[in-house]
Structure 1
Amino acid sequence: MKKTEKLAENLYLIDDFDLNVEERTGTYVLTESELTIIETSASPSIPYIKNGIQELGYTLEDIKYIIVTHIHLDHAGGAGLLLKDCPNASVVVHPKGKRHLADPSRLIAGARAVYGQQFDTLFDPIVPIPEERLIAMDHLSKLHLSDSCTLTFYDSPGHANHHFSIFHSKLEGIFTGDTSGVFYPQLLEDNIELYLPSTSPNQFDPNKMIASIELYRSLSPKYIFFGHYGMSENPNEVFTQVIEWLPKFLDTAQQAILEGDTFEEQVKVTANLLINNIQSFLNDKGIKPTHKVYKVLNLDMEVCAMGLVDYFHKQQHSN
């Protein structure tokens, strides 16, 4: 079971074993002059990050920046807990997310509403971050990590309004969090690249997502670094697949809303239909329903279904 892998010069990926699932959520380590990590996952993942940093020959005192692409708990939930043991680090966040890391009460309430009794197991503890240790990065702000490595931040809504993406000057790659979707490396051994939209609640907006993906395309990146999970060397394929799947996801949810009476029923029907559509797609490529990728896909489609149904409910109320 690989825990830490080298992706490129001065760039490593730690598997966070989010939800105890391999290759679901990752933390990137940039071993530049200013040691930097991108994404922390939730608090139960912090021991894996600490072990990974140690495995790479560094200490927690060496970390200068902890960057989170957005404040969803599977990306930033563990930031406060990790920071407690990183005395020289600051947390870098989108301006719209900063106050929620300083006072995570709304994040906690929102997650408890979704996850109920599972909340403590999945996310606890969520530790507030002192304001003086938070850095907000606006659109086109830059962070210099070494003479040869500068990070440029881009506002990239669609998955969430408190989301930025980070272009790495030396590698010409971009850390896209969840805005450019989810990569399923479990299928690579079958010679299949699969990239699907991430439509989780509660700020999913398909038009903003497409606009952000077009922004990525304009940067001509050589690599996409996903929050879930790993690196793609085929950005154009990423963009093409996500934009092709997005209307299918929307159509599926609209169909499910007609079939279900309650929000919960609509989410359940949406998730089942999404999995059926993806299963049909993968069956045609020779992937059996017992393939390990479905452990991740089933989890992802439950969350995607919530965001899709929530989006259409909001559209109805705004009209």
Structure 2
Amino acid sequence: MSKHVKEPKPDWIRIKLTTGDNYQNIKEMMRSKTLHTVCEEARCPNIYECWANRTATFMILGDICTRACRFCAVNTGMPTELDLEEPKRVAEAAENMNLRHCVVTSVARDDLNDGGAFIFAETIKAIRGRLPLCSVEVLIPDFLGNEESLRVVMEANPDILNHNIETVERMSDRVRAKAKYRRSLELLKRAKAMKPNIPTKSSIMLGVGEEWDEILQAMDDLREIDCDILTIGQYLQPSPQHLHVEKYYTPEQFAELKKEGMKRGFSHVESGPLVRSSYHAHEQVNSAKSRREGAAAPN
């Protein structure tokens, strides 16, 4: 069996280290309220930039995921509790940060009958109660295809419903645990059917063995179900135990993919080596809203 040769990171994979007062304040706030962020748990490369700008993605339902996806650094195992006070603490933190756009995601909780949908809905409501003008984006798991769980979240009226397909169809079973490519598409399709005016969003990471034409096909699959927003970023191996990086895409290739996405009709495409699902999320929602309003305006 041949040993995988690790390709060195190219020059354009650089992380800006900014650990000023804002970064420290947010870190202290999260610890004081016993909250988790996907920024830390998933070792996001943009944590320094985002926290310095007082933005963060809250991770609810604990910090132990019931799945073990081969690309993800979040701890896996069997969760032992459900914190019903978590939505309140998230809302308090969002208020203290005076957020204009709040992103809420979670670990997968396959141990719960509703997959954690109730806590998602309560978190949306709690944030709105304290910050009426703050838009709320949720990045949800697939709830194992449970339509009622999705409906609970959609009835809480998030401003954006985000669910990541993560990779192209051929690579999905190798990259993800339990999640299925077609089931993810079906979730996004159902979300749009339930609430046509709520933008849907998804994300693809590159460098796990996909081909160029498969990336374009994934875009077509998302547009076929009227997905509005797409983010595309480079996969970075979080530890030696995770999937190896098969290829580093250049900034020029990411720019080309942005053009391909916009050509296909996405309201917004964020594409770049260090782009992650929640990167520049506030700019994404504004851009998508402007484009949709422009498309709906009479000639």
The TM-score normalised by the length of structure 2 is 0.32
Larger relative contact order (C-alpha < 8 A, sep ≥ 6)?
2
Normalized per residue, the structure richer in strand is 1
Q: TM-score, normalised by structure 1?
A: 0.31
